[in-house]
Structure 1
Amino acid sequence: MSSTNVQAKLRAPAPWLVVLAAAGQAWLLWPLFTPDMTAYLIPWLETIRARGVLDAFAQPFSNYMPSYLYLLAVFSPLAAWLDPMSVIKLLSVAGTAALALAMHRLLGALQVSERARWAALVVALPSVAFNALLMGQCDAIYVAACLMAVAMAIERRHFAMFLWCGVAVAFKAQAVLVAPFFLAVAIQRRVSPAQWLAAPAALLALMLPALLAGWPPADLATIYFRQAETFSNDIARNAPNIWSLAGMVAPDFAPRLFGLALAAALGAAAWFVAKMQIVRFGHAGLVGMAALAALLSAGLLPRMHERYFMLADLLILAFAIARGTRSAFALAALVQLGSFAAIVGYLGLGAPMVAVGASCMIAATWLAARPLANPNANDNPPAGRTPRPTLLRRVVPYDIDGRLRFRGNGE
């Protein structure tokens, strides 16, 4: 069956079904909360209310970057009518709406039909819903910025690409999980170093209000380093990756593998960047490679948490929507299952669910990496197509699911 015929049968879910699923999750999760809410998020909101918006930023009161705290300050007046937990979750819901808009923009760059209905599906994804409606986290915001950066990469708007990268890092350090993709694209396309400066410029611009209010520069510069030391005794924190499995098998020895884990992640990133220089992908394949970068990074870096695969969840979904094949959607479902299983494990079902999630993620990463690991494995063109010669070039145009794509230079 051709890809076109398959895509015709895989249509976006009906809007009423998405609304029903989202409403059901909201009804179930809104009254609940996690320890992070009472230990961190609510005290930060109360600090802003007690000190006032301007005075609150005169000194550090959070281990998050100020970007998120600005938004929390904007929502803080709602605490006069709502309980603090609801205010924080409303901000997270607003972040989810931004994520859906970013998905719509990315699907537009991929020229996907019915992209509004596909983008709406984002709000009903279990990993997204649990992140906002239960945990009250802001991961949707940095993921939205990363999706915008990938859209800019597809459209070859490299200055905007790096600008969105800087915005993403300003909200969460986890944005660097997809950094190998942007590095590979920038090197491959010989992007001017001057355009790379857009990322630190955006980061600095978002730090500037806090700096002007009096927040010490040294504290801002070290926030992410201090975050990394928060759980220094763990090799992984319910993350669906190989290190969680190692922690289950040898809990006392696993933390000693920190150096090995870091070396493995850096080595995989170097391999990814190098292979991206000789293998070209179409637009859908590029999004698949961005998802692979996030899967490799979160899968191999130490001290990852259960929600750190959310970026891969959304990128692989965008790839599946763009490709429209059953195999692509199966891959997206595998990633979503892995992410959700780890979250459920964190919420109380424990190590067995995390192990299930890790198994799913490892399998999905292996499947996604095949076009880079062995690009010549499938040298048969699709039926009815004749490959064009690649004169004096070491370029193999593939899509992530192994199908050859002959599109000139692969862009």
Structure 2
Amino acid sequence: MRSISPRSLICGGAGLALLGLSLIPVLNLGLGTTSARIWVYLLLLISALLALFLLRAQGKDRLLTALLPIGLAFLIRSMMLSYVSDDYTIFLSQWMEALRTNGGFAAIKLPIGNYNVPYLYFLAAISYLPIPDLYLIKLFSIFFDVVLAWGGARLVRHFASNAAIPSLACFCALLLLPTVMLNGAYWGQCDSLYSGLVLHAMACALNRRGGTSAALLGLAFSFKLQTVFIIPLWAAFWLAGRIKFRHLLLFPAAYALTCVPALLLGKPLADILSVYVGQTQEGAGSLNYNSASVYSFLPYGAQVDERSYALAGIIAAFLLVLVLLAVLLRFRKRISDTALLTAGIILATGVPFLLPYMHDRYFFLADVLTVAAVCILPERLPAAVMVQLASLSAYLVYFRQRYTLVLTLGGKTYTMLLESLLILATLVYAACLLWLDLRQTGGGKKRRSSVS
């Protein structure tokens, strides 16, 4: 029997200590009773234990070593729980009050909020609990941070010849990624929900489990409209022979299944189907909402024909998808799994870069995909760094209510020009990598990482 190394014991002890220290900021939270705060801590520990459970196959040494970054990730999250964002005050708290006043699940039938019904099910469920809504909403997102990290680890495991260390590195890196921690534990947003499901769906597709992949993608779409950024990748999976066309039918089936409880509770079908239509219409008024998009190349305060510029962005995003799929069709016999991952990064960066009305959080999927790619092919670190810097800067604009770096060029002011240039550079970089991979790879073989 192999003995546990001293280094692993030290990391494990430090990780447990960090998890224990998480109790201090939780007990000092400003809302709820002491009993409610203890429940918050226990729920936080459950997510941490889930992380360890998912890593159990790594062996005792690596599991103990992983306790250190996991403990750090949850300690940081425990210190973020008290922050109250404007989004929570203006929207989520009001939705919770409406659900609680009108009977929890019985209120699902009412026109409450602008999120799709799967997230409303969760909000309705917590409306019965004697724990402050703010913390439960954040804990739900933290739980899916773990699901997200597991999805990234699964994706890396598919590529790496000796997958243990790269997949473990991806798991821990995603848990500690600044935008992942800020998104759920600090902001109370839920982008880990759809992104985690997308990562698992990608892993399933690459492992030729097409039905499961399409169903997970449909579930991701039921949570967040932003899933559309990467949906065209499943056409690429089909072109590459990773999934069959019949599998794609499970996408609408899974989405439809999530609507059934709401229908049974009396919510009109038209109200369910119109949620995403309403979200697309809410953006009108500003071409860009603190996002590192192509519209940041316009000077601050520039007077343009919003409708024409918005239509141009939509057409450009559509053309990007068409060109990408056309290239993959042309080289369909040479599509490697690495090429498919790179195509996913192109979609996750390029589509929100070109579309109008994008928000600060909309590069979240690009954040996590580029990190997973680095754990597979370390030479792709520049893409992950550029995307994270651009995305994190957009988050800080929201939190600090001022732009990170304002540039004046030719007498005109640009508020997020550098961030947009970073995203554009990532898009060009990924496109070049895809072209090189398609020209050099044959037979659909996947490139494997040499990292052990």
Instruction: Provide TM-score, normalisation by structure 2.
Output: 0.76
C-alpha change, 1:341 and 1:22, in structure 2 (3 Å) is farther
**Matched ranges for 1:152-163 at <5 A:** 152-163=204-215
**Matched ranges for 1:30-179 at <5 A:** 30-78=81-129, 80=130, 82-111=131-160, 112-114=163-165, 115-179=167-231
In the other structure, the counterpart of 2:368 is: 314
Amino acid at match of 2:326: A
In the other structure, the counterpart of 1:340 is: 392
In the other structure, the counterpart of 1:380 is: none
| 2:290 counterpart of 1:238 | yes
Greater mean alpha carbon deviation, residues 196-205 or residues 160-169: 160-169
Percent identical across equivalent pairs?
28
**Matched ranges for 1:259-270 at <5 A:** 259-270=311-322
Greater mean alpha carbon deviation, residues 88-97 or residues 102-111: 102-111
C-alpha change, 1:139 and 1:321, in structure 2 (3 Å) is same
In the other structure, the counterpart of 1:392 is: none
| 2:427 counterpart of 1:365 | yes
Greater mean alpha carbon deviation, residues 245-254 or residues 147-156: 245-254
Greater mean alpha carbon deviation, residues 56-65 or residues 306-315: 56-65
| 2:253 counterpart of 1:201 | yes
**Matched ranges for 1:221-260 at <5 A:** 221-246=273-298, 248=300, 250-253=302-305, 256-260=308-312
1:320-354 deviation digits (Å, cap 9, x = unpaired): 1111x2x3122211111111111112222326373
Amino acid at match of 2:124: A
Instruction: Measure the CA separation in 1 of the matches of 2:176 and 2:244.
Output: 39
C-alpha change, 1:190 and 1:368, in structure 2 (3 Å) is closer
**SS in structure 1 of the partner of residue 358 of structure 2:** coil
In the other structure, the counterpart of 2:25 is: none
In the other structure, the counterpart of 2:346 is: 292
1:130-179 deviation digits (Å, cap 9, x = unpaired): 11022211110000111111111211222222111101110000001002
Residue of structure 2 aligned with 1:20, choices 33, 58, 72: 72
How far 1:249 sits from its partner (Å)?
6.3
Greater mean alpha carbon deviation, residues 355-364 or residues 228-237: 355-364
Contact 1:237 1:244 in 2 (8 A): no
Residue of structure 1 aligned with 2:402, choices 308, 329, 349: 349
1:369-400 deviation digits (Å, cap 9, x = unpaired): 1134x54xxxxxxxxxxxxxxxxxxxx646xx
How far 1:88 sits from its partner (Å)?
1.5
Greater mean alpha carbon deviation, residues 217-226 or residues 29-38: 29-38
Greater mean alpha carbon deviation, residues 206-215 or residues 44-53: 44-53
In the other structure, the counterpart of 1:211 is: 263
How far 1:124 sits from its partner (Å)?
1.3
How far 1:260 sits from its partner (Å)?
0.6
C-alpha change, 1:213 and 1:317, in structure 2 (3 Å) is same
How far 1:56 sits from its partner (Å)?
1.4
Instruction: Measure the CA separation in 2 of the matches of 1:266 and 1:109.
Output: 30
Cα RMSD over matched residues?
Answer: 2.4
In the other structure, the counterpart of 2:18 is: none
Instruction: Measure the CA separation in 2 of the matches of 1:274 and 1:371.
Output: 16
Contact 1:235 1:255 in 2 (8 A): no
In the other structure, the counterpart of 1:386 is: none
**SS in structure 2 of the partner of residue 308 of structure 1:** coil
How far 1:196 sits from its partner (Å)?
1.6
Instruction: Measure the CA separation in 1 of the matches of 2:353 and 2:441.
Output: 28
Amino acid at match of 2:355: L
Greater mean alpha carbon deviation, residues 52-61 or residues 349-358: 349-358
C-alpha change, 1:259 and 1:336, in structure 2 (3 Å) is same
Contact 1:150 1:161 in 2 (8 A): yes
Contact 2:346 2:427 in 1 (8 A): yes
In the other structure, the counterpart of 1:273 is: 325
Instruction: Measure the CA separation in 1 of the matches of 2:132 and 2:244.
Output: 49
Contact 1:65 1:223 in 2 (8 A): yes
How far 1:211 sits from its partner (Å)?
0.8
How far 1:22 sits from its partner (Å)?
4.8
Contact 2:236 2:340 in 1 (8 A): no
Instruction: Measure the CA separation in 2 of the matches of 1:134 and 1:117.
Output: 23
C-alpha change, 1:75 and 1:121, in structure 2 (3 Å) is farther
Amino acid at match of 1:105: R
Amino acid at match of 1:71: F
**Matched ranges for 1:374-385 at <5 A:** 374-375=435-436
Instruction: Measure the CA separation in 2 of the matches of 1:17 and 1:193.
Output: 41
Contact 1:72 1:91 in 2 (8 A): no
Structure 1: give runs of 5+ residues left out of the alignment. 1-10, 376-395, 399-403
Structure 2: give runs of 5+ residues left out of the alignment. 1-61, 406-414, 447-452
Contact 1:211 1:217 in 2 (8 A): yes
Amino acid at match of 1:44: W
Instruction: Measure the CA separation in 1 of the matches of 2:383 and 2:109.
Output: 47
Contact 1:246 1:254 in 2 (8 A): no
